[in-house]
Each structure stands twice: as C-alpha cells, then as structure tokens.
C-alpha cells in the first residue's frame, strides 16, 4: 500500500491515522465554483465524536442482551465488551487511538476465533448493528453517505468474522 488514496472526494489524512478512507467531504457536495477545495472531515467528527459510537454500541448491546443466539457468546457483564467495541469503532472511524493504546492492534479475527461464528450469528450481529445505526441515523440526521459507508463496513466485518461453515 502506498499510503495515498486517489479516489475522488477522499482526502489524504495525517500519517498517524491509517483510515484516510473514512474522510468525507462535508455533505458530500460537489466542488465549489472557482475550484475551491471542500472542507473535509472524518466520520468520527461528522457524527459528533465518541458519544455517537458510545450510543451506537449501547443500542447494539440492547439487542444482543435479548438475543438467544448471540447472548451466550458474551460474558455475563457486558461492560468491557461495550467499552472495547465503542473505542474500536471510534478509532476506526477517525477518532483517538485509545483502543489500540490500551489493547494493541485490533486483530479482529484472532480475537473472535474462540467463538463459533456461523452465518446465523453473523446475520444476528449484523441485524442488531444495523438496527442500532438506523435508530441513530434518523435521530441525529446522519448523512446518507456516512450511513452507507458504515453499513458497508459492518457487513464486510460481519462476513469476515464467520469461522464456521455449514457442512456441504
């Protein structure tokens, strides 16, 4: 990887943030007359910072807490998983590196290997995450470009966590 991102509408970020692709033009509007650059913000800032991700995760875990398929995969006390997920998502979308500072590289697949995750678990996880996001998108008027990018990321990540395939 060269470190440069040549996609239109994606700005180069500081080198300490590996997720430059999470930068978006404000409102995803076309360039202004005269060729002025659009202001660019990362998703973390555009959605209101860590408070957005804390609330997203809180809503997500409300669904998990009552899900007979997913609940057994989590510890009795959800405090730490909530904190870890909220910090990870905040960092991924352009916020502070608190998650990595405290826990090291995310290594998502490695951290999930002890849990049997099949298509049903993936679908349940994604259903709860999408419902949590949907409720915040409406409530906080999140831009459709941000919603789309987040939904794509959640689907890709959920697919990547599957470690149990049905016998063929």
Can you spell out the DSSP letters for 59-83? HHHHHHHT-TTTGGGS-S--HHHHH
Establish if 5 belongs to a structural domain: no
Return the closest-CA partner of residue 157 out of 111, 114, 97: 111
CATH of the domain at 57: 1.10.490.10
In 3-state terms, what secondary structure has residue 141?
A: coil
Total domains in the chain come to 1
pTM: 0.76
- Residue predicted with more confidence, 36 or 80: 80
pLDDT greater than 70 at residue 40: no
Residue 31 reports pLDDT greater than 70: no
Quick one: average pLDDT of 120-131? 97
Least confident of 11-20, 62-71, 123-132: 11-20
3-state secondary structure of 122: helix
Is 38 within the bounds of a domain?
no
> CB-hemisphere CA count at 13 Å for 39?
6
Band (pLDDT 50/70/90 cuts) for residue 57 is very high
Whole-angstrom Cα distance, residue 67 to residue 127? 11
- Report which DSSP code applies to 142: -
Does residue 166 form part of some domain? no
Question: Residue 87 sits in which domain range?
Answer: 45-161
121 vs 23: CA distance, rounded Å: 30
* pLDDT tens figures, 72-81: 999 999 999 9
30 found inside a domain: no
The pLDDT of residue 10 is above 70: no
């Amino acid at each position: 990887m060269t470190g440069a991102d040549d996609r239109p509408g994606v700005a180069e970020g500081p080198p300490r943030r590996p997720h430059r692709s999470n930068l978006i033009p404000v409102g995803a509007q076309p360039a202004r007359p005269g060729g002025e650059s659009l202001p660019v913000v990362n998703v973390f800032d555009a959605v209101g910072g860590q408070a957005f991700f804390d609330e997203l995760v809180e809503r997500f875990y409300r669904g998990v807490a009552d899900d007979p398929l997913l609940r057994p995969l989590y510890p009795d006390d959800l405090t730490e998983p909530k904190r870890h997920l909220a910090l990870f998502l905040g960092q991924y979308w352009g916020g502070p590196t608190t998650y990595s500072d405290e826990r090291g590289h995310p290594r998502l697949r490695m951290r999930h290997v002890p849990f049997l995750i099949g298509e049903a678990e993936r679908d349940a996880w994604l259903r709860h995450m999408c419902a949590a996001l949907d409720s915040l998108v409406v409530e906080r008027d999140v831009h459709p470009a941000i919603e789309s990018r987040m939904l794509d990321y959640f689907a890709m990540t959920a697919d990547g966590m599957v470690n149990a395939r049905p016998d063929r």
